[in-house]
Amino acid sequence: MTATHVERSASAQRVLDAALELFAEHGFEGTSLQQIADRLGVTKAAVYYHFRSKDDLLQALVEPAFDELHHLLDEADALPRDSARHKLALQAFVEYLLRHRSTASWMSRDAAAMTRPAVWERARGVEGRLDALLTLGDSDPLSRFWTGAITRAVSGAVLSQPEADEAWLRAEVAELSGHLFAGYRAARRRHG
C-alpha cells in the first residue's frame, strides 16, 4: 500500500515528516529507511507498510507541491495577458513557495534528490510553463533574461530563509521584486 497525498493516514504523515527532517539533515542519499524508522521509534517494516522505497517517500513528499504548482499555472494561464499578469503570477508563486518552503528549501540543496525520476520528470514538466507564465513583455532575449533573474532571485530569497516569519518575508520579497521590475523597465528603456 502506498499512501497518496489525498488519503494520507496520520502514521504515513509521521513517516513523511521524519523523512523530510532526515533528508534535510543528511541528504536523500545519506538517509536510510532504517534511520527513518529509528527516528519514529518503529520497525523498518512499519515504514515499508506505507512506502515501498525511499523513492516512494520522495514522490509522496513532492507530489502535493507539484500538483499545486500545476493548478496555480492553470489558473494563471487563464489570466488576461496584460501588464499586471506577471506581478499576479509572481505573487501566487511566492505564496506557493511559502507553503512548501520546507520541502523546496531542502530540495534546492539536495542534488541527489533533484535528479531522482519522481522529481526530475515533474520539474521538467513545469519549468517551461512557469517561465512562460512569468515572462515579462515579449519573449525576446531581454525579457527572458529579466524573467529568469526575477524568478530565481525571488525563489532563492524565499528558499534561503526557511525559518523566517512569513509576513516579513512577503514584505522583503515585494521590495526585492519591485526593484527588479524597475530594473527591467530601465533595461527596456535603454534598449529601446
Task: Give mean pLDDT, residues 44-49.
Answer: 95
**pLDDT tens digits, 98-111:** 888 888 888 888 99
pLDDT at 5 over 50: no
| Residue 1 lies inside a defined structural domain of this protein | no
The pLDDT value recorded for residue 69 is: 86
DSSP characters over 2-33 = ---SSS--HHHHHHHHHHHHHHHHH-STT--H
State the pLDDT confidence band at 59, using cuts at 50, 70 and 90: very high
pLDDT band at 83 (very low <50, low <70, confident <90, very high): low
Task: Confirm whether 22 is domain-assigned.
Answer: no
122-135 mean pLDDT? 76
Would you state the pLDDT for residue 7?
62
Q: Is residue 135 part of a domain?
A: yes
Q: What is the pLDDT of residue 74?
A: 83
C-alpha to C-alpha distances, 79 to 63, 76, 86, 87, 123, nearest whole angstrom: 25, 5, 10, 11, 23
Specify which of 4-13, 35-44, 63-72, 144-153 reaches the highest per-range mean pLDDT.
Answer: 35-44
What number is the average pLDDT over the span 159-177? 90
Q: Is residue 150 part of a domain?
A: yes
Question: Is 107 contained in some domain?
Answer: yes
| Number of structural domains in the chain | 1
CA nearest to 148, candidates 180, 101, 115, 107: 180
* Residue 168, domain member (yes or no): yes
Name the percent of the chain lying above pLDDT 70. 94
Longest Cα–Cα distance in the chain: 66
pLDDT of residue 27: 93
C-alpha Rg value of the chain to the nearest Å: 19
The answer to whether residue 36 sits within a structural domain is no
Q: What is the pLDDT of residue 107?
A: 85
Residue 145: domain span: 62-190
